Amino acid sequence: MSLTDTATDLPNALAGQPLERIERDGVEYVVLGTAHVSLASVDAVKALLAGESFDAVAIELCESRAQGMRDPEAFKQMDLLQVIRQGKIGMVAASLVLSTFQKRLADQHGIEPGAEMKAAMEGASAKGVPVWLIDREVGTTLRRAWHSVGFWQRFGLMGGLLASVFEREAIDEKEIEKLKQGDILESAFSEFATESAPLYRSLIGERDTYMAARLREHAERGHFGAGKKVLVVIGAGHLKGMGEQLRVQQGDPVLTADELAKAPPKSHWPKWVALILVLAVFAAIGFAFHRNAALGAQALRDWVLLTGGFSALGALIAGGHPLSILAAFVAGPIKPFRPGIPSGGISAMVEAWIRKPRVADFETLRDDITHWSGWWKNRVARTMLNFFLVCMGTIIGEYSAGIHIFKSLF
C-alpha cells in the first residue's frame, strides 16, 4: 500500500493526535506526539508523510535502537566475551530487561513498541529524505539515571526491574494510558521516576533538551533555512518539554548535546571504602603473622577459603562449568591485586569460552529470561548470571573473611 493510499484510507488519522508546529531559525518543525503502543500513532505518521512534503524526518531514536529496528537479527552477532572485557555486561542486562517489558506490551496489544518510529523511517526512505536520529544513546541514559539516584534507591530500581521480568499478569489499563502519554523508559521505571526528581530529569528532562539541541544541530549542518520543513516524531511525553526547549534554547547546540551525551563520572567513594576495608584485612593478616606464624597462616587461609569459596559458590549456583567454578575460586582471593576485570568477569569469560553461546541461545534469550529456569538453560543468560553471582559471592566472601580474621585476633 502506498503512502497516498494510506492517506485516502485514513482521512481522519490526525484527528485528536498531539500535533504542534514550531518555527525556529526559519525552519518549520511539525512535531507529532505519539503513543508507543498505539496503531493510531502509526496511522498518523503515515498520513502526515502522505499529506505534506518534508525535507527531513526526525525520530526519537538513538543509533543503537534504530539499528535494532533495521536489523533485529544483529543482536545474535553480539560478542559476549568482548562485552565482558569492556565492562558492558550490566548495560546489556538492563537493556534485555527493558526488552522483556516491551515484549509483554507487544504480546498483549499486538503492536511492537516503536512501530511508529519504524513507519517514519520507512516513509522517509520511500520519499528519499534524510532521517535524523535525535535521541540520546539508551546506554548513556541508563547510566546517567543510575548515577542520579542514591545508593539505596539503586536496590529498589534493580528489584523493580527484576520483578518486571518475571511478571505474568497483563499490564493494566492505567499503565497503558501512561504509555500513551509518556515514554517507554519512564514507564519501565514509573514508580521511581514520579518520586525521584533526579531520575525523572535523567530519563525525560535531559532528553528533551538533548533532542531540541540535536534538531538545531542537524538543521545547521544541513543548511536548513526559510521554507524548509521537518517532521519530528517523538513520544507524547516529550512533546511539551522538547517543544519548549526548541522554542527558547540558546547557545551552541553541539556543545549542549555533547555535554548531555557524556557518561556520568564514576563515583570513587565505593572503591575507596572497599580498598580501605581490604587494606584493614591485610593489615590484620600481617599483624597475625607478627604475633605468630601459625596464626598468620590461619588468617591467610581464611581469606583464601572464604573469598574463593563464596566466589565459587556463586558460579556453582549459576550452573557454571567446573572450570568456571575453579576460575571463580582462584579469582576471588586475588581481586584486590588486579583492579581490572572483576572476579565475575574472569569466571564468566571462562564460561563463555567453554560453553560458547549458540545462535539458538540468542534467538530465545528474550523469552528465556522471563522464566526462572531460562536463566540456567540459556547459555547467554547463564553467563550473565555467572558474572553477577560470582561478583556478589566475592563481596560476601571479603566481608566474611574480614569479620572472621578480626574475631580471631581480638
- Amino acid 176 reads I
Question: Which strand ranges, in their side-by-side order, compose the sheet holding 56-59?
Answer: 19-24, 27-34, 229-235, 56-59, 131-133
For residues 388 and 39, which has the higher predicted lDDT (pLDDT)?
Answer: 388
Nearest to 288 by CA among 276, 305, 302, 306: 302
- 169: exposed, middle or buried (Cβ count in 10 Å: 0-12, 13-18, 19+): exposed
In this structure, of 64-78, 135-149, 184-198, the range with the lowest mean pLDDT score is 184-198
At residue 384, what is the residue type?
A: M
Task: Confirm if 57 and 234 have CB atoms less than 8 A apart.
Answer: no
Structure confidence by residue, pLDDT tens digits, 1-59: 344 444 434 457 777 788 899 999 999 999 998 876 677 888 899 999 998 999 999 99
The Cα–Cα gap between 123 and 45 comes to 8
Distance CA 63, CA 136 (A): 9
The predicted pLDDT at position 280 comes to 86
pLDDT, mean of residues 94-122: 74
Note the pLDDT of residue 1.
36
> To which residue does cell 546489556 refer?
92
pLDDT in tens, 86-104: 777 777 777 776 666 666 6
Asked if 365 and 380 touch (Cβ cutoff 8 Å), the reply is yes
Q: From CA 42, how far away is CA 13, in angstroms rounded? A: 9
Q: What count of other Cβ atoms lies within 10 Å of the Cβ of residue 404?
A: 15
- Which contacts of 22-25 are long-range, i.e. CB under 8 A and separated by 24 or more positions? 22/243, 22/246, 22/247, 24/216, 24/219, 24/246, 24/247, 25/216, 25/219, 25/224, 25/225
**Contact call for residues 230 and 28 (beta carbons, < 8 A):** yes
- Dihedral-angle region of residue 318 (phi above 0 means left; psi in -120 to 50 means alpha; beta otherwise): alpha
C-alpha–C-alpha distance, residues 355 and 320, integer Å: 9
Q: Which three cell numbers stand for residue 7?
A: 492517506
- Which conformational region is residue 170 in: left (phi greater than 0), alpha (psi within -120 to 50 degrees), or beta? beta
Separation CA 241–CA 252 (nearest Å) = 19
| Mean pLDDT of the residues in the chain | 81
pTM, two decimal places: 0.71
Per-residue cell: 405: 580474621
Give, rounded to a whole angstrom, the gap between the first and last alpha carbons of the chain.
81
Contacts of 94 (CB under 8 A, 6+ apart): 142, 161
User: Nearest Cα to 211, choosing from 192, 238, 237, 231?
Assistant: 238
pLDDT tens column, 264-285: 776 666 667 777 877 888 888 8
